[in-house]
Amino acid sequence: MSITEYKPGLSIEDLPTELQTQEPLKLASNENPLGPSPLALQAIRDNLDTLNTYPSRQLEWQLRQAIAASISDQLGPEHIVIGSGGIEVLEFVARNHLTRPDAASALPRQSFPFLARYSGRSGNPINFFDLDEEDFSYHPERIAAAITPGTRLVYVCNPNNPTGTYTTATALRHITAVIPDDVLLIHDEAYIDFVDTPDFPDLLPEVLAGKNLFLMRTFAKIYGLAALRLGYGIASPAVIERVAGVKRNFHVNKLALVAGLAALNDAEHRQRTIANNMAGKQWLTDQLTRLGCRVWPSQANFVLFSHQSVPAQTLIDGLMALAIIVRPAFGLDNHIRLSIGMPEQNARLVKSLTAVLQQEIGD
């Protein structure tokens, strides 16, 4: 599969019918295993009998205000654009910045492929760069080499999907130094809520300074609202105005708006999500390592691993036969991206993987 033909992960419903009876387990789409924020669910219930009316403009404004306030008191609604999922927000940026047919993007090959897919469809040129072969870091000189006079967008995913690795504040400064001022840097922060390291970049000062920069985030992961489709971008008012210019009215539905507002207040659900992720990530890393896998350090809600002797596809097929869905890592041969689940789900994954490995290598 080429990188521009990104296919979303399988759903439980996609499993062969005979396997669906075996309590399918999906650890493939980095969803929140705790479920949605209870406060968001309550807000949805409270609004069900208003579905006959269009969402008000005020509601969207309120959500933008609440998102801004949840990040910094220096941000306001004018710094925020919301979308039907982070993907729609990325699409707004692409539609806006890739208007000319020769407008190009500089994109990492081993990363979230939405923009590659967009450009694949629109016919806009893509200049790919590779991440480091060993530790998947972004190399400023490779990014610089991928920037041409026609380049309008550079994409950095941090923490990076599918590797889980991250770019430090210092490393990002080296990257921004090679990007011309008139080229927009998209910093995809879909997994920022799971970050647990002091040297992760804080780009708000750059946004407030009016830099040509766009931060993307989502309610799909930390708030467990993937099905509702809600994401947002943070940028200077000038960039937001430009990006938001392409959106149509009512592009985010009312239930998503009220659920998003409520979820922002759900500190308890957020903390439980982070605690479960931290503990599960450590446990899975230890267990996979014990089973002869190489596991990359992750700052996200998933881990990337490969086995020293058994091909990834053999493991994926073996797990699938036990009704467990995991994902080949896009852009990377022979690696698996595994989402962190609840403790009992992680335990089932390890038990099943042990059985598959025993069958393959007989120990």
Ligand X SMILES: Cc1ncc(COP(=O)(O)O)c(C=O)c1O
Cβ-based nearer residue to ligand X, 159 or 280: 159
Q: Which helix (H) or strand (E) holds 295?
A: strand 293-295
Is 165 near ligand X (CB under 6 A)? no
Task: Compare residues 151 and 218 and give the one whose CB is closer to ligand X.
Answer: 218
Contacts of 271 (CB under 8 A, 6+ apart): none
* Contacting range for ligand X; rule: CB under 6 A; set: 79-87, 163-171, 244-252, 343-351: 79-87
Stretch that binds ligand X, among 82-90, 244-252, 283-291, 339-347 (CB under 6 A): 82-90
Q: Measured from the CB atom, is 171 or 226 closer to ligand X?
A: 226
Residue number, 25 or 190, with CB nearest to ligand X: 190
Piece of the chain touching ligand X by CB under 6 A; list 14-22, 80-88, 232-240, 248-256 = 80-88
- Determine whether 60 is exposed, middle or buried from the number of CB atoms within 10 Å of its CB (0-12, 13-18, 19+): buried
Q: Cβ closer to ligand X: 55 or 159?
A: 159
Taking every pair of Cα atoms in the chain, the longest distance, rounded to a whole number of angstroms, is 62
Contacts of 91 (CB under 8 A, 6+ apart): 83, 114, 118
| 108 near ligand X, judged by CB under 6 A | no
Would you say 217 or 307 has its CB closer to ligand X? 217
Q: Say if residues 103 and 118 touch (Cβ distance below 8 Å).
A: no
Please tell me the distance from the alpha carbon of residue 89 to that of residue 230, in angstroms, as a whole number: 9
Q: Supply the minimum distance, in Å, between the C-beta of residue 220 and ligand X.
A: 4
CB 78 within 8 A of CB 235: no
Chain position whose Cβ is nearest to ligand X: 85
User: Binding segment for ligand X among 204-212, 218-226, 313-321, 347-355 (CB under 6 A)?
Assistant: 218-226
Q: Interface with ligand X includes 195 (CB under 6 A)?
A: no
The reply to whether 112 sits near ligand X by the rule CB under 6 A is: yes
Q: Take residue 15 and report the two structure tokens written for it.
A: 């499993």
CA–CA separation, 34 and 272 (whole Å): 8
Separation CA 161–CA 281 (nearest Å): 15
Contact status: 131 vs ligand X (CB under 6 A): no
Taking alpha carbons only, the member of 288, 319, 323, 317 closest to residue 302 is 288
Residue 277 binds ligand X (CB under 6 A): no
Binding residue for ligand X (CB under 6 A) from 87, 154, 239, 262? 87
The span from the CA of 119 to the CA of 154, in Å, is 13
- Chain residues binding ligand X by CB under 6 A are 30, 85-87, 112, 157, 161, 188, 190, 218, 220, 226, 231
